[in-house]
Structure 1
């Protein structure tokens, strides 16, 4: 039995077994496509017994889809049964009645009596195991319901189909269904059509009603239940009544809709309810990992809770962010407001500016308030009273951005678990504030000069972040926070002293002092921190003598000393045995002495044996300043030498047998590339880019198009072990010479759409900004391995073909695509492909912006290109996390989503 998910698709080709001649009812909008998708899961022609689940949020149309399919297809079976409202029936003790109904409907017997559930299971198996039946079990919410109604496949005859509808995906997986179909919201066109049918009983609404109709459709956000309820309610009402109803919806959502949605919420455990309400009120659209960290600090076990909410169709994760349907969020808001309809100060959560202003200005806070979140885009002086915090004894979560008070802050709840106050306006913390519960303190962009004097007890504090607090002059005494794991002080430009007590932080893992320009030294206690793994002192331009001391941090895995003046003054042996990432980008110290830290010969005891990424960019390196023997870097996978002055690639690079990525951006004196490792550059995800001057797409590209228009390619039937390797693409683009290169804000990308999934391959902006030949045509050629398209199940294309859509897009004035070409690459094409790339490489060598190794017929996995080092920088979150700019795992810059 193979469990699979139906991929999102817009393919309207109907399965041959689907009876298209049967007409659907007029008010079943969008049903034909959904039935086709469901039918592909059910596989009506196969003789095995299949159990298929339909899941989705409340009101999404699961029952309607199942009922319609049942009505259309039941005539092809020997028996049929539709068991409706299983959750509600079982809640009233009706499991036996469902077993009886199942047998009555299929056997066409009026009198079936079952005395206990076990006897019912035996009767179902004995009476139905030789019958080909279609059964729908609707609105299931407990596993025992399925176990008693359709426990095993062998209860039913060959060719039988069991369809289950539920809000809980995990329940389906636990029962071992053969396929899962996710019911989706209606698209905008379908939603408007359904709303009009319900509101006007016609497809042509009066012209004056069209804008309001669109507003109601937007409110429903594709939820069929909401569209039907709203449309039916508005039928026959005047235009003024429509306007009034829309305004009322914003304050008081329709109860019939929210009550239906609340059924899923009512079935949650208490901790899961708290997580749901926190996400609905505070964290919709926020990064999942960040929210998980916050919820974990509140003791909510979010890894389990978030999974439960996803399974029950209450939230989704899109692009690593937490999302929920707008109406589910409205339901969460309603539940919180019902705690105290008239007084916000008696609710558990406050998120609306109006409510927070009321509580903080009128001092109506109470012990009921657990969380407050207010993120203002810029500082705003308001007449808020800090005294309101005095009554919030149970406040566990406080997130303020740019919120200022008319008075200084003197009290905060000792129950606080997570405190994030960007732009905190005071010079110090409340003198009497100590908390054994506080896990994370984040006061970025604050006005703090010194957090506190003396010793404060914060025994559970794990993260302290004061980044970009430009008035901070010294750190607090650390003796009261023994469990601190992360200390992030990036951009504290006035900071000149790290308290000597930092040596007591035996749990400290990460230290980020990036751009602390006034620091001239670090306390000796830092060098004795046994757990320290990540150190970032880049941009600390006055730090000079400390490299030898850092070498004694035995657990150190990431070290960034870019932009410092650090010098190596001795030939001492270093113990960087666990160091994985080292960046010396733009160091002011002389590169030769710096590189003397590398041992002369390879030895596991000499350090650097674990180094996987090394950045020596912009270090004024020449051939003689790079060590002749780099065999000590046996684990190196990424090597950045961008912005240096050597003429040829140093011969010592040839010994780096594990090297995957080599960066040579802006090495403008580079003439020779003969020093590649003897076995080439290996990469588990083959692919590369080339940018050279050129005005024509090579004839080898079989599909060519002018401009940046869409090209549609028929992808023939293939399978996972076929000789098809991937896509080769080429485009001609131009940047007009009248543009100031320093003002360039350019983007060139290629979108590839296959089976409903879209990938975007983007040319690094750094290449475009560094180009010298503005006003002339440039050729960009790249290869994408089939392994890049991990979301495609290529087994599904063994019998049918599919289409590939390719389109190039540009962003920037005076920047456009003139033509492009595409070709499917098979193993037999490799020789021609190598010839094509070699011609480009050698004919344009002086302007060869991207170094690559072409495919080799004997080593298909040996294809790699050098992409810009910036492709490997973790932009999102790197500033606050303090992690090095290197990313150990190489990747192509792609934005992937599911349409």
Structure 2
């Protein structure tokens, strides 16, 4: 591959855990069970499989394994000390502990630490033998004794007969997981990150991770000073302490694709799902999570408003924002903001960093002692300048150093970009050209594509990129070319200096104003080689028919519509373009206005052609020389009716025609094509494609005219036939696809059952038949399958003979299979993590499944009871029974779900809509695992008095439980409860009064949100005044006339909308209150002076009293059928009026 030489070699394998044990004692018992549990927890563990060990000294491979492990578990069994091999392992482990900080976890397996420490019992007998055997080397025996004494002084686990061994193993796994998280969280720090530790510690002090509040940390400073580096290091260091994490890079550029795209990207990183929107439901989901978010490189306060609203996040959440603009950070943080300014490196740190780049070591050679200090002084502590300048001097002679230093002295006040120019000046001419192409055209583009394009410009691109990498002018991330902003700006400045006053004489253009000047004003011959224009940055651009005849050197042309939403902004006068430069290597013109490319255009040098969403009907008529062409992208060209013969394009690899809705004929293409996308075209017949021996991806989704399964080459790995009219899959065709990995037929409603030869597709990992309503039989497939999507089919049975072989299955989706009855046992499917059976209305029994299951959805099934065996599901995180209208009984096993791995509550139970479920079983023992319990619209009359044993519960919903009669007094003992929803429940005044009157001052001490909307309350319960931690209170739709909130000192949000009888909102209001919704409070007569009621636009200053403390309150109120929002800053009577739709 072109990029292979750019990838550095990987480090040697590293284990999380090394197991030290006496094989004859525990190999086939305790050790084997512990090893299996470690593997299930995805903890990389080294175990010596040798049954027979020869000699006294441990092997070099074991020494390496110990040294490359983070933690050692030493299982001291009865005869551990009789093995000299084990004792030497112990010495090696203690040495690693001393020199490398290696963690040791001792386990005393049916032997006491005292017996080991004092070497009595079997340990004394073993050492008596060692003393006799090693008379000549008594130091060795003494070292073993000392080692045993040291290790018994460490905290460990004593295993005896008072509990099941499985319980001990669960605790060990938890302990190991926590220790590894704490250890590896710091592993991210690159030793080359000079000065990073002190800066991380300062930011961590501001973060206050241990506090359960919400904070925004702004990291502010000039470009290249290390903001992103610090944020990334902190993210990897503390991420393990949060429920969900998101690192959103380059927000400034991501936002150019639209704020909606920005929010979707953010939500995808949090939830792992596409097409999510920031609606009320999503905000509710976010606000229940403790989240860590890093927003890197933000330059617009609007970006923070859509991503970092503090109302989106749960308590304990932290937002870290990096920006060059302090005002952007001030605009969103408010009193939650802590600002950290990144200062430059001090002289010692600067010198160390410079030496690392210039000499590949932390110190200067003796003959270079003074020169590095002079360069460090010049750089002024800027890390990027130090790296670039130091890198440019690597392996240079002293005269070259002095020459460079002299050059710097001539311009002592130059800015950082000019310092970066020095590294550019050290490049060969060809390397400079490659650098400028990347800076002005190819930043963030795919490495391999850039190499192909620039190679055709007769550059040695791969070599040039390697030079740029060595000189710190370029980095590669996920195979994309990345360049620091300062370095890119330096590249832009170099091009501008080619002709400061006449852009048309520059080699590269990217600024919309310069491009407009070139096309609409300049009439001479242009020197330009590349033009890159983002269509979202212009209103219109007019081209003359002969616009490109004056650009003979143009190689790269890009008129891009990144969002594919812009109208046709580039217009051609008289409608016809006469020509395009024959020297073009890359042509991207989204929404090209003409029906074809110019007749005179010769694309023989063209490498990539991207004419997405254009008005093209065809590309060209006659045969063209296409020897360099590698990619054609014509997606969204709805008027395209034909594609020229491309069988003579020997290097064409990628062809995208999706959305060409008038294209009826399958294109003639070269056998070199690897990816072909014909989605949503009108193609009616697919010819035999068996000659396309390079084809790996074929996408024919939404091709409604395709009725036959295509004849394709056995090289195919991904085949998408979604929403086609295919009725059958011929046995003769499918069995040859032995490399097929992903096959999709979803919503192909005419498709009938698949052939039995599917079982021979041993490479198939994903099969999707969702929405194939004529599929009546469960497919016979290979045991290699990992994902099986069968929702919305007509399957009525899952044969045991098929399911028993799917030992690699991870995800099984059987939703909406209304004919499907109970399933066979799947307890042997130990890889299965997700099982979806929602809306399988004939499922009446709880499925037999593996204890490894993590997500189980059984909503809208006919299950009547949950068996006690549910307690075996120790990995379960999400168990849903919503709208199971036949469910009457729940076993108390539902509350005995013991976690083997989790250190914090991680499970939610959902019984919403279970209209026959009247009660829950008693909780028999303490459980911290369940954090959410939803009983919305169930038939619940009360909760068990033992509910207090769900000590990890954070969310409880009894919304619209119309039969609810009482709440147990023990509810007040749920000290971790954050959200309580009793909306739509009548009589809650009395219920809550009984609960809170029986509690101590600490009752419901963590409650942050209480929803009592539409409860028909005539009087606001005075007992609620003790809930001083309450942050949000929802009282909408109630019937009380007066409301006092003076005791709710932490309240920030209040909803009293539709309280039509409410007349008085008594003062004082809570000092932290920021939002009040009083829409349709038609009887409300007065508000305290610290708020405002608006009945239209008018002078509002008279509503304020001058106050030393300035704060804001948002008040929503009904004004003539529309909704008005006031933003009020108290103390200086400033307000903003916003009319909401």
User: Which structure is higher in RCO with an 8 Å CA cutoff and minimum separation 6?
Assistant: 1
- The structure with the largest alpha-carbon Rg is 2
The TM-score, its normalising length taken from structure 2, stands at 0.40
The TM-score, its normalising length taken from structure 1, stands at 0.50
